[in-house]
Amino acid sequence: MYLTKEEERMCNGELGKGMQEAINLLIAIGDAYDAEKMIPISRAHAASSGQEGDLYFVELLADGGARCRVPTSTNPVYDIPFFHRLFEILKYEADVARRVMEAYKRVGAILSWSCIPYMAENIPLYGETVAFSESSATPYVNSVIGARTNREAAQSALAAGVIGKTPEYGLHFKENRKGTHLVKVEATLKDEFDYTLLGYYVGKQIGYGIPVLTGISKQPNTEELINFCAMSNVPGAISMFYMPRFTVEASTVEEAFQGDIPEDKISVTDHDLKQVYGELQTTSGKIDFVMLGCPHYTLKQVEEVAGLLQGKKIHDGVSFWVCTSATTKTLAEKTGYVDVIEMAGGHVVVDTCIDEPCWAVYTDKVGMTDSPKCAYYRRFKEVRLGRLEDCVETAVKGK
């Protein structure tokens, strides 16, 4: 791969050990894909996770004096003091999380701790070259926004944020952004929940590829698209998709396939979505807690929860959680939604995700969620799956 004078200096360690590690990782990736050069990026999103591998690399960069050259946001970890008040957290795990969060701060990242940073803290525009990890953020910025990113790992995205560049390969080229699978949606998509099932089904059917979805009659809203992105990357690896007319990069099916429309197509029926639902739900009985906000809830979804809980009380035996970003919670507090949820006995919690060790207390419990992703990676015993309103209703009734 061709390196500029400055890149060579980084590579030789002249700009510090942190920069050297970062560029060496990008060079390994570039070499693997036969990239000819590095290209500048305008922003990055590092899917920090608070686990040991994450800690190792971010500390390596921070200790080596690296600082992000472009805005670089972070994925959920967890608010240690907040969870310490509620649950027991192993000292070792809390130490790892604390060190991860401190190291991202030292490296100059935007401490968004959110899996949907493209909504508020770090928003790419159409055509921007970026490096976004987080399997649900990658397809959103590629498809809904029309920015260009490869499917990055947390570390390659962080390295790109530190260097301000990424190797030029894959989805940075238009010819690699063409559709691979034609998906005919025959199912009725009523709401956000149906889009979670659609995403899961499409990801499972295709595995790896760029689906082009037709047959969707109504413009999906932001939350529906966020859900589609997140869920299609649970059983599959979908870094980009097209819904011609509704996503920005192609207005027709022909354009999405760059003229190369495949003969085979996959169809999705109501029956298929029902089956996905049946596969993911392991119980329909009594629950111990409700977990909403995987991916993080938007302000609109927090408002919806507050609306449904207005004047109601969550059942004594049920804990009720809504995960969102600090930005959204601040606004939800100002607007009064958080008060309503807390009055009803629920919690709005920031900076975290069900996949974090702070939820270990639920290992033997039964949870209900509106997220197939949360159900799939479940860290609890049994899972009930339902629409947002069903989750709230069940929380109030206790069963």
Partner 1 sequence: MKPPSRGNRGMKNSKISLKCHKIVGGYGEGEALVSHEPICFYLTDPKTGIVREKDHELAGKNLANKVLVFPSGKASSVVQIDGLFKLASHNVAPKAMIVKDVETVLIVSAFLVKVPLVDRLEKDPFEIIHTGDFVEVDAEKSQVTVTKRDTK
Residues that bind partner 1 (CB under 8 A): 24-25, 28-29, 31-32, 47, 49, 51-54, 56-57, 133, 135, 150-156, 233, 355
Which is closer to partner 1, CB of 48 or CB of 319?
A: 48
Least Å distance between CB 166 and partner 1? 10
Report which DSSP code applies to 317.
T
Which is closer to partner 1, CB of 341 or CB of 358?
A: 358
Both tokens of 38, joined, read: 């590095």
Both tokens of 270, joined, read: 């109501």
Say if CB 161 and CB 131 are below 8 A apart. Answer: yes
Say if CB 188 and CB 263 are below 8 A apart. Answer: no
Least Å distance between CB 137 and partner 1? 12
- Of 167, 54, 46, the C-alpha closest to 114 is 46
Least Å distance between CB 359 and partner 1? 16
Distance CA 98, CA 72 (A): 19
Which is closer to partner 1, CB of 155 or CB of 327?
A: 155
Which is closer to partner 1, CB of 28 or CB of 90?
A: 28
Distance CA 145, CA 123 (A): 9
Which is closer to partner 1, CB of 150 or CB of 205?
A: 150
Least Å distance between CB 264 and partner 1? 22
Both tokens of 23, joined, read: 């560029």
Say if CB 286 and CB 207 are below 8 A apart. Answer: no
Which is closer to partner 1, CB of 97 or CB of 250?
A: 97
Both tokens of 291, joined, read: 């977990």
Helix, strand or coil for residue 46? strand
Least Å distance between CB 186 and partner 1? 30
Least Å distance between CB 158 and partner 1? 10
Looking at residue 104, its amino acid is: Y
